Amino acid sequence: MNQRSLQYTTGIKDGIPIGLGYFAVSFTFGIMAANTGLTPWQAIVMSLTNLTSAGQFAGLGIIKAGASLGELALAQFVINLRYSLMSCSLSQKLKEDTPFIHRLLIGYGVTDEVFGVSVCKFGKIDPLYCYGLLSAAVPGWTFGTAFGAVSGSLLPDRIISALSVGLYGMFVAIIVPPARDNRTLAWVVAASMILSFLFSWLPWLRMISSGMRLIFLTVVIAGAAAFLFPFPTNEEDCYE
């Protein structure tokens, strides 16, 4: 096996855990997409072209609320803006002579997990390694959505309702461990929960559409946290 083939197979091997995790989460997304009114093919295309759990789940809520395409597009821009920063950082890990087409194709598949695995790899990375990661991650997310969307029309309502709880379990698993170790993050999570509740409960705030509500809260809370609790510039302070 030559070096380039080894890079691709190594990427697949490193991407298998990502793909398995994606399958579990996207299965819940497929069920929710079917409950929202999307056909299985619509849900599959949505997952294949987006690859963003937070953006897709938020998109379902906006679609269900009947919001405008402008709100949907703006919400996706705000929620997925972090991927632009990840792509800029990941581009520094690629070899300088990497063609633009490879950078463009790799950018399509940049997610939190793919980025985390790629940047932690020692030295410069070969595009084939990234393609190996995507070869495991993308099918995991897409096939999970397909199985969930089809199951949503076959399984009894009680089982679908039980499986839908998996979404909230995923959010708890993502939020609780880092919030437990980081007081600033814990306050941000608490503020998000309180403000989201107020926007859903107070009559004069409840009138705001779900899409604009999501955009406003994301920008305000993230901006306030960045201003009040800036990330330390001294590398040693990061580990205090």
Q: What is the pLDDT of residues 88-137, one digit of tens each?
A: 888 888 888 889 999 999 999 998 888 888 887 888 889 999 999 999 99
91 and 134 housed in the same domain:
yes
Structure confidence by residue, pLDDT tens digits, 91-105: 888 888 889 999 999
10, 78: one domain: yes
Domain hosting residue 144, numbered range: 3-176
- Last residue of one domain, picked from the residues 176, 197, 214: 176
pTM over 0.85: no
Of 176, 205, 227, the residue that ends a domain is 176
* Same domain as 137, residue 222: no
Q: Say yes or no: 168 and 186 in one domain.
A: no
- Are both 65 and 168 inside the same structural domain? yes
Whether residue 137 contacts residue 114, with contact meaning beta carbons closer than 8 Å, is answered with yes
Residue with tokens 């309502």: 157
Q: Are residues 148 and 187 in the same domain?
A: no
Q: Tell me, yes or no, whether 236 and 169 share the same domain.
A: no
Same domain, 232 and 138: no
Shared domain for 119 and 148, answered yes or no, is yes
Bridge partners (DSSP) listed for residue 61 = none
- List the end-to-end C-alpha distance of the chain, in Å, as a whole number: 45
> What H or E segment, with its residue span, contains residue 81?
none
Is 9 in contact with 33 (CB distance < 8 Å)?
no
Predicted confidence (pLDDT) per residue in 210-221, tens digit: 667 777 887 888
Question: Among 144, 176, 208, where does a domain finish?
Answer: 176
Q: What total of structural domains would you count in the chain?
A: 2
Report whether 67 contacts 76 (CB < 8 A): no
> What percentage of the chain exceeds 90 in pLDDT?
23
Judgement on whether residues 10 and 125 belong to the same structural domain of the protein: yes
**133 and 19 co-located in one domain:** yes
Contact (CB, 8 A) for 55 and 81: no
DSSP state of 239: G
